Amino acid sequence: MVLGDIMLDCYFWGEVSRISPEAPVPVVNVKEQNYTLGGAGNVAKNLADIGARPLIIGTRGDDDNGKYLVKHLKSSGIDARGVVVDADRPTTQKTRIVAHSQQVVRADFESTDEISEEVQEKIVKFIKRNIKDVSGLIISDYGKGVISYRLLTEIIDYMNERGIFIAVDPKDVHFMNYRRVSIITPNHHEAGYAYHKKITDEESLKQVGFGLVDLLEARSVLITRGEKGMTLFEPDEKFTHIPTEAQEVFDVTGAGDTVIATLVAAVAAGAKLHQAARLANFAAGIVVGEIGTSTITREKIADALENGIKTKGPGAPTKLKLT
């Protein structure tokens, strides 16, 4: 089950050969346009592509983009029955113009106002009616209004009572409300901001990581650290450093979605938490080598596990061994 801000990502692909006479900006000659799922939609797409059965819950506008979004979700193997139509807000769309593999500009169509009590009630009722066979909940918070204090407290309590694994991809504004979850996956900037301590070295990293475990009463905290990989913190001062899988980075868009989707799918399939984190790190190393919002697939993972991910510069491909 994926609960959060569902988005539609639009890409214009083209070339630049001149500067506009109207303003000092490049003129992009568009050659191609395509749409992908973003936000919670990208999390659900990752889950579907690695073999899970995602049920997505969120909102869309009463507009053409919303209708296309639902169609795209269904064609991607995602159960979209939990997408509530909210006539008071547009479907969130992020439009990116890319030229020569570089993003030139992004335009956002969205509302960040909190969803109404009526819509929240519809979401709560839907979740409670459809809890059967759910083995994990991912809360994908992009700060677009779906994730509220009421939803967090009521749904987290409800899932904990039933022993369901809860993972959160956080947003700063709600950080202190993600309490008693199974795992939360902030990047090092978000983690440092939430704990009011900048992460500058391994000592400060440990202080922030273990501090958040205690502060949030969480079963674990996974801090993603860019080129330094990620670190998993668990109670009783247990931590695991996971170095990055060396890979030429083209685009980090959606990498966090890949991490949380792969991790929760692995846990649901029976992996230990540190094994799931290593696999998630490996999956992220694959998608950052692709341009645009990208998802992982079973085929990509299988190929990488067999043949490895090529390292930057000299050296053999990196292979993953889950121990």
Give the Cα separation of 45 and 50 in Å (integer). Answer: 9
Torsion of CA 114, 69, 284, 267, to 10 degrees: 80
Torsion of CA 227, 233, 237, 243, to 10 degrees: -30
* Catalytic site includes residue 62: no
**Catalytic hit among 133, 141, 257, 303:** 257
Burial 304-317 (b: 16+ CB within 10 A, else e): beeebbbeeeeeee
Which are the catalytic amino acids?
Answer: 257
